[in-house]
Amino acid sequence: MAFHTGSDKLEPLEAAAGRVRDGALVALGGGLSARLPMALVRELIRQGRTGLHVVGSAHSIDVDLLVAAGALAVCEESYVGFEQDLGLAPAYRRAAEGGTIDVRESCCATILAQLRAAELGLPFMAVRGVKGSDIRGLHPEYGEVVCPFTGETLVAVPPLQPDVALIHAPLGDRRGNLHLEQPYVLDERFAAASRNVIATVDRIAGFDEVGRAGITVPGHLVIAVSEVPFGAHPTSCYPGYAYDRPHLAAYVSAATAGGAALTGYLDTFVTGVPDEAGYRKVVGDEALARLGTWSDSTSAWQELYS
Amino acid sequence: MAFHTGSDKLEPLEAAAGRVRDGALVALGGGLSARLPMALVRELIRQGRTGLHVVGSAHSIDVDLLVAAGALAVCEESYVGFEQDLGLAPAYRRAAEGGTIDVRESCCATILAQLRAAELGLPFMAVRGVKGSDIRGLHPEYGEVVCPFTGETLVAVPPLQPDVALIHAPLGDRRGNLHLEQPYVLDERFAAASRNVIATVDRIAGFDEVGRAGITVPGHLVIAVSEVPFGAHPTSCYPGYAYDRPHLAAYVSAATAGGAALTGYLDTFVTGVPDEAGYRKVVGDEALARLGTWSDSTSAWQELYS
Amino acid sequence: MSEATYTIDEWFVVALARTIRDKETVFHGFGSPCAQVAMHLARRTHARDMLLVEGATYAVNPDPPFIPPTGNDVVLQQGAEYRMRFEEFFDAAVRGDVDRMFLSGVQIDAYGSTNVTVVGSIESPKVKLGGGGGGCNLSATVGSLSLWTTRHRAGRTLVEQCSFVTDIGHRTREGTRQELGFTGGGPQWLVTELGVFDYDETGHARLRQMFPDVTIDDVRAVTGFELRVAADVRTVPPPGAAALAALRGIDPLGVRRSEFSPVELARTFHAHTGAACAC
Amino acid sequence: MSEATYTIDEWFVVALARTIRDKETVFHGFGSPCAQVAMHLARRTHARDMLLVEGATYAVNPDPPFIPPTGNDVVLQQGAEYRMRFEEFFDAAVRGDVDRMFLSGVQIDAYGSTNVTVVGSIESPKVKLGGGGGGCNLSATVGSLSLWTTRHRAGRTLVEQCSFVTDIGHRTREGTRQELGFTGGGPQWLVTELGVFDYDETGHARLRQMFPDVTIDDVRAVTGFELRVAADVRTVPPPGAAALAALRGIDPLGVRRSEFSPVELARTFHAHTGAACAC
C-alpha cells in the first residue's frame, strides 16, 4: 500500500517540513530561478535540520541557503549557481572549497537515469556518457555493465530513491493533486521515484479547478501538502509571479560577503521570522505585488529584469 | 537531423500509406476498441501490402483484418481479440493455428521496456518479470544481464525501433502536431521510438487550436499526416465517436465464418471501395452519426452498447 | 430481481470483491467484466479508500454510469480523480506500488500459473487464445493476485499442468517465485463458480468455501489437480442487500454475465433472513 | 548603435550563430546568453527551419519578446510550437536526435574537453565552479558541439590540460570518443573573442579565423596548448546589417554582454562597404 490513498493531506508548513528527518536524502523540485521549494527550505532551516543530502539538476538559492545555514552535508546537484547573471553560489562555493560539505556533483541525465531505475523498479540503469568525464570519479557507487547484445561496456548507475521530494506548485487540492506549469524539470520523476512527496502550493483549490487546470503530480504520490502563498519566492512560480531578481542579487552579495552580512540575511528573512507570513511581511506586499506585473505587458515584464 | 522540421506534412492517405514498405516493422497505435489506425490499415490492404511485422499491446480488428487480407507475416502484439464481449480474433486465430503467420506474442510491459531502450538510446533494457513464463520461449532475441550492484540475473530485452508508427488522432495540424485524448496507450512511446510516425486525424485544424487542445505527439516526430474523418472507425475516437459495436460484431461473425463471408466483408468495406470516402459511404451517414450520440445522455451512450 | 433473490453471477462478483482490502491499489486487465464490476463494488462497499485503477484506461477511481462491453471506453474515465499514462501504471506495478491484480486463465494450475496464450502447443496450437496483455511481468511484481474463473465446472480449466504458462503463479518449472527473484506475493485467492480457494504454505490451491449448491465431490470431479480442502471449509457468505443493490447499479448492462454459461446463469439463490453479511 | 558600427559581443554572437546549419536541432545549456542569442539569431536569418530547443525550458522554436537574465523564465516559452519535458529532451539527445549543442568552459583543452566543475583539485578546490548540468552525458551523444568562450585573452581558459574534465571533447585520458563508444561527433567549432577554431583530423583545435584587431601572436600568447593555424586563416566575416538588426531586436536587455569583460566590450568595429556578409 505504497500509494497515499487518503483524501486530506492538507497540513501546516511546520508539520509538513517536520516530516523531513536530519540526514534525509532530499530531492529539490523546480530548477534555477523557477519553482524552488523555498518555503520548505526556509522552514527546514528554522527547525534546525542538519546533515541533508540533496539531489537534483540545476539549482541556486535553495541549495546555497541550506549550505549557509549549515543544514546540508552532501550535495549531488548537477549545478549550483546563479547563472551568468549573478555568478557562482557563494555559500556553496565557500563550503566546497573549505571542505565543509561533500560535493558529489552529478549530471542531469545521470540523475534522470537513476530516478528512472527507482521509478521502474530496476536495480540499475545503463547510461551512454559519463565515461571519460571526471564526474565519474566523484561517484564510486557507479558500476559497469556489458550489453548482452552488442558487447559494449556502459556505465551502470544504481537507483536513486529520495526519502522525500520537496515540490512547490502554483495550485493543488487537499488530496495532494498538484498542477504545475512547464518546465516541470524533474518534478514528475522525483514524485514517482521518491518514497514521499511533500508539497507546498501558492493556493489550495477544489478538485474540479485543479482537474481542469491539469494534474501534473497525482495526490496518491503526495503525503502532505501545505498552502503557502509565494512559497517559491524569491524564485518564480507562474502564472502567479516572476522571479525576484533584486532579492536574489541582494542575497548573492550578502552571501559573498559572508559573516555578518550573511547572518543578517538569514536573521532577517529566515530564522528571525517565526513563519512564512513573517517572511512575506519582511519582503513586503509591494515587492511581492510587483512580481505579478509580468503579465501586464512585455515592457512591464522586461522592466522586472532591467 | 532525425527530427522532421518541415512545416507542412499534410498529404493524401494514399501517399501516407505508400510510405509503409512490404515487410516493415509497424507499430499500431491505440488499443482494443479505441483509436486504432483503421483508415491506414484499410489503405495498406488496398495497396496490397504484404509481410508486415506488427508490434504493440492489446489490439483487435486492426490486426485481424491485416491477417485476413494476407498482409501480415509476424505478430508481436500482447493480445489480439475482441475481449469477453465478442471473443477470439477469428482470422488471427485461424492463421496462428494453421501456421500461416509467425506468432511472437509479447507482454505490454516488455514491449514498453523495448520501446524505452530505443527512445533512450540504450542497447538493452532489463525487465523484472518474464522469467518462468513460456512467453520467453517465443523470443530467442531476449538475453540476460547480471545487475552489477545486486548480482541478480534479469531478463534483458533489445531495443524495439519500429520502422513506422501508425497513429490516429482526433485532431492535428499540417505540421504534424497531434492532440490525443486519454488513454494514449503506447502512442507517445511509439512516436518517440519509431523511425517515423505516419498519422491520420479526423480533422486538420490550425496550430492555435491544436496547441490549445494540447499537443500529445509533437510534429517533429511526424513525417506525414492525412485528414480522414472517422479514420478510426469501427473503433472509437473521442470526443468524436464511440466504437461501433454492431459493426465489430458483424465483422467477427463474418471472419468466424471465413470464406465467402470474410471475402464479402473485405470486398464491401476495404478492397471493393476505392478510398475512405467510399468506406464511409458504405458504412452510412446514419450509422456514423449514431456513434456521435454518446454525448447526448448516459442512456444514449448506454444504448450504443445494448 | 429482488434483493431477496440473486443469481450466481451476482454472488460470484460479491465473493470476488471480498478479496480486496481497503486502501489497496487494485487493477484488473481488459476483457475482465467480473473483476471490473467486483472492483467498483468493493469501492462502494467495504473498500471505500481503495485506489481503483481501471484496466485499459488506467483511470484512477472513476465512477462510470455503466460498465461497457469494452475495456477502454472513455465512459470508464467518467468522474476519475486522475488518469494514469500506460507507462505510469506499469512502472508503478513493476516497482511494487500496485497491491492487487485480478487475473484469469483458460487454464489455471495448482500453484496459480495461468494460460491465456494457447491450448495445445504453440508450434501447432489447438486453440490460439487472445494473449496475456501485461500479465507475464505484472504477475511477477504486483503485491497479491486474485485469480478467478467462471468455467471451473467444465473440467478443463483447473489443470495439473498448463499447456503454456503465460502468467506466473507460486512456482513454475523454472522454480519458485523467490528463486525467480519476483517481488510480488503471487496468487492469494482463486474464486470459481463453484467455490473459493486460497493457497497453502506450499503455494498450492486449497478449497476454503463452496457455494451451497455445490459439494466437495462436485469440485473434486472437475479439478484437474489434487484437491486440497481446508479443515474449516464452509459456504460462501451470502451477499448483503447493500452489495446486491450496489452491484446492480454498477452494471446495468450485465456485462458480468457474459463470463458465464447459460446453465450457470440459471443458478438462483434466496437470501435467508439473518444470513451473514460480509459486506 | 548604428548598423555601420558594432561591438565585439555582437560580432561574436554572429560568428557563433554561423556554426548552426539549417534544419538542425540545436540546444544550449543554461547560463549561456551568447549561445542563446546566437540560436535565436540563426533561426531568424540563415537557419529558419532549424529546431531550436531553449535550454532549461525545453521550449521548441519559441519567439520570446526578450531574452531574460535567467535561463528558465517562462518568457522563453512565448510563442513556442511545443514544450518538451525534461526527459523528452534528454532522451532525444542521448538517442541522437539532437544535432548540435553549445558548450562553454572555464577551461577548454586542445581536444575540446571542458571544465565547468572545479579549478584546482576536487579534494581541495581553488575555485568550485557551478557544475556541468547535463554536459557529461550530452557531450557524448549530441551530433556536433559548438564550443565558445569570451575569456580567451585572459590566458587561463585554453589550457594544455583541464584540472577537471566535465564534458568530453575528441579525446580524454581514457581514450578517444570511438574508444569510449560515444555516438556523437564531438567539438566542431570553438569561437572565442579572438577568433574561430575548427578541429583537425586528429581532433586538435585549429585557428581558422581571427577578428581584425587580433594577430596570430596575440592568439598564441594566450593559448595554453599548441596553436595550430589553418593555411587559409582569414578574418572573421563581418556581420550583415540584417543580422545586426535581428540580434539587437532579440536581445534588448543585452544579456549577451554579461559574458564579456568591460575591456572587451569597448572593442568597436565599423562596417566596410561591400564587406562580405555571411548572414
For the four alpha carbons of A250, A252, A253 and A259, in that order, the dihedral sign comes to positive
Mutate to test the interface with B, among A115, A116, A144, A147 (most CBs of B within 10 A): A147
Cβ atoms of residues A10 and A225 within 8 Å: yes
- Cβ of C97 within 8 Å of Cβ of A5? The answer is no
pLDDT bin (cut points 50, 70, 90) of residue D276 is very low
B129/C166 touch (CB, cutoff 8 Å), yes or no: no
Which parts of chain B sit beneath pLDDT 50?
none
Which residues in chain B are closer than 8 Å to D97, comparing Cβ atoms?
A: 2-3
Contact between chains at A128 and B122 (C-beta distance less than 8 A): yes
Helix extents (H) in chain B: 13-18, 38-46, 61-68, 83-86, 90-98, 108-120, 187-193, 207-213, 245-257, 259-266, 276-283, 285-290, 298-304
Mean pLDDT, chain D, rounded, equals: 95
pLDDT number for residue C271:
81
**A window 46-105, beta carbon within 8 A of D:** 57-58, 77-81, 83-86, 88-89, 92-93, 96-97, 99, 103, 105
C212-247: pLDDT as tens digits: 999 999 999 999 999 999 999 999 999 999 999 999
Asked if A121's CB is within 8 angstroms of C95's CB, the reply is: yes
Return per-residue pLDDT of chain A as tens, 306 residues.
Answer: 589 999 999 999 999 999 999 999 999 999 999 999 999 999 999 999 999 999 999 999 999 999 999 999 999 999 999 999 999 999 999 999 999 999 999 999 999 999 999 999 999 999 999 999 999 999 999 999 999 999 999 999 999 999 999 999 999 999 999 999 999 999 999 999 999 999 999 999 999 999 999 999 999 999 999 999 999 999 999 999 999 999 999 999 999 999 999 999 999 999 999 999 999 999 999 999 999 999 999 999 999 998
Residues 109-128 of D with CB under 8 A from A: 117-118, 122-128
Mean pLDDT in residue range D196-213: 98
Instruction: Give the residue from chain D lying closest to B207, CA to CA.
Output: D81
How far apart are the C-alpha atoms of B239 and B96, rounded to whole Å? 35
Residue D96: exposure state from Cβ atoms within 10 A (0-12, 13-18, ≥19): middle
D99: left (phi over 0), alpha (psi -120 to 50) or beta: alpha
List residues in chain B touching A: CB distance below 8 A.
121-124, 126, 128, 143-145, 147-150, 152, 154, 156, 158
The C-alpha angle with vertex C24 and arms to C19 and C30, in degrees rounded to 5, equals 70
The pLDDT assigned to A115 comes to 98
Would you place residue D273 in the very low, low, confident or very high pLDDT band (cuts 50, 70, 90)?
very low
- Is pLDDT of C276 > 50? no
pLDDT of residue D3: 66
Q: Are C40 and C278 contacting, i.e. CB atoms less than 8 angstroms apart? A: no
Query: Do A33 and A237 contact (CB within 8 A), yes or no?
Result: no
Q: What pLDDT shows up at residue D261?
A: 97
Nearest-by-CA chain B residue for C135: B107
> What is the structure's pLDDT at A2?
84
Between CA C87 and CA C82 the distance in angstroms is 14
8 Å CB contact of D94 and B120: yes
Task: Note whether A2 contacts C: Cβ–Cβ < 8 A.
Answer: yes
Cβ–Cβ below 8 Å for A121 and C96: yes
Q: Which amino acid is at B215?
A: I
* Each residue's pLDDT tens digit, D81-121: 999 999 999 999 999 999 999 999 999 999 999 999 999 99
**Contact call for residues B78 and C132 (beta carbons, < 8 A):** yes
Q: What's the pLDDT tens digit per position in D179-189?
A: 999 999 999 99
Burial of C1 (0-12, 13-18, 19+ CB in 10 A): exposed
Place of cell 512560480: A237
Kindly provide the ipTM of the predicted complex, given to two decimals: 0.97
Query: Which pLDDT belongs to residue C57?
Result: 95
Who among D86, D131, D259 is closest to A84 (CB)?
D259
Predicted confidence band at D4 (pLDDT cuts at 50, 70, 90)?
A: confident
Helix (H, G, I), strand (E, B) or coil at A137: helix
Nearest to A40 by CA among A213, A250, A197, A263: A197
Q: How long is chain A?
A: 306
Q: How confident is the model at residue C1 (pLDDT cuts 50, 70, 90)?
A: low
Q: Return the beta strands (E) in A116-273 as ranges.
A: 125-127, 143-146, 153-157, 164-172, 178-179, 196-204, 222-227
Q: Which residues of B touch C164 (CB under 8 A)?
A: 134
Residue type, D192: T
Q: Do residue B121 and residue D183 have CB atoms under 8 angstroms apart?
A: yes
Which cell numbers hold the place of C179?
Answer: 528463486
Residue D271: pLDDT band by 50, 70, 90 thresholds?
Answer: confident
More reliable by pLDDT, A42 or D273:
A42
- Judged by a CB distance cut-off of 8 A, whether residue A209 touches chain C is no
Question: Which residue in chain C has the smallest CA separation from A217?
Answer: C82
Q: Which of A88, A93, A133 is the best residue to mutate to test the D interface, defined by the most D CB atoms within 10 Å of its own CB? A: A133
Interval C71-124: pLDDT, tens: 999 999 999 999 999 999 999 999 999 999 999 999 999 999 999 999 999 989
Per-residue model confidence as pLDDT tens digits over C194-206 = 999 999 999 999 9
Q: Please give the Cα distance from A78 to A60 (Å, whole number).
A: 11
Looking at chain A, list the stretches that DSSP marks H as alpha helix, in order from N- to C-terminal side. Answer: 13-18, 38-46, 61-68, 83-86, 90-98, 108-119, 187-193, 207-213, 245-257, 259-266, 276-283, 285-290, 298-303
Contacts of A1 in chain C (CB under 8 A): 23-25, 99
Measured CA angle at C107 (ends C215, C31), to 5 deg: 105
Q: What is the reported pLDDT for C4?
A: 84
Round to whole Å and give the CA distance between B238 and B230: 10
pLDDT at C278: 39
B33 to C58: CB separation less than 8 angstroms, yes or no: no
pLDDT at position C275:
44
Cell numbers at A205, concatenated:
483549490
| Residue-level pLDDT at D275 | 44
Q: For D227-268, how does the pLDDT look when each residue is reduced to its tens digit (9 = 90+)?
A: 999 999 999 999 999 999 999 999 999 999 999 999 999 999
Nearest CA in chain A to B146: A145
A275 in Cβ contact with A14 (< 8 Å): yes
B120 in contact with D at a CB cutoff of 8 Å? yes
Residues from chain A that touch D66, judged by Cβ atoms under 8 A, are 298, 301-302, 305
Q: C82–A220: do the CB atoms touch at under 8 Å?
A: yes
Cβ atoms within 10 A of the Cβ of A267, count? 12
> Angle at which helices A245-257 and A259-266 pack, to 10 degrees?
140
Chain C: touching chains (3 or more CB pairs < 8 Å): A, B
Q: Does D226 touch chain B (CB under 8 A)?
A: no
Determine the pLDDT at residue D274.
37
pLDDT score recorded for residue A84: 95
Asked if A60 contacts A30 with a C-beta cutoff of 8 angstroms, the reply is no
pLDDT confidence bin for C272, thresholds 50/70/90: low
Residues C166-209 have pLDDT tens digits of: 999 999 989 999 999 999 999 999 999 999 999 999 999 999 99
pLDDT at D1: 58
pLDDT in tens, D28-46: 988 899 999 999 999 999 9
Task: Find the angle CA(A33)-CA(A35)-CA(A41) to the nearest 5 degrees.
Answer: 95
Give contacts of D140 with chain A, Cβ < 8 Å.
Answer: 128-132
The verdict on C183 touching A (C-beta cutoff 8 Å) is yes
The answer, for B192 touching chain D at a CB cutoff of 8 Å, is yes
Angstroms from A220 CA to nearest CA on chain C: 8
* Among candidates B2, B7, B177 on the partner chain, residue whose Cβ is nearest the Cβ of D97: B2
Instruction: Show residues of chain A in contact with B122, CB under 8 Å.
Output: 126, 128, 154
The whole-number pLDDT of residue B2 equals 84
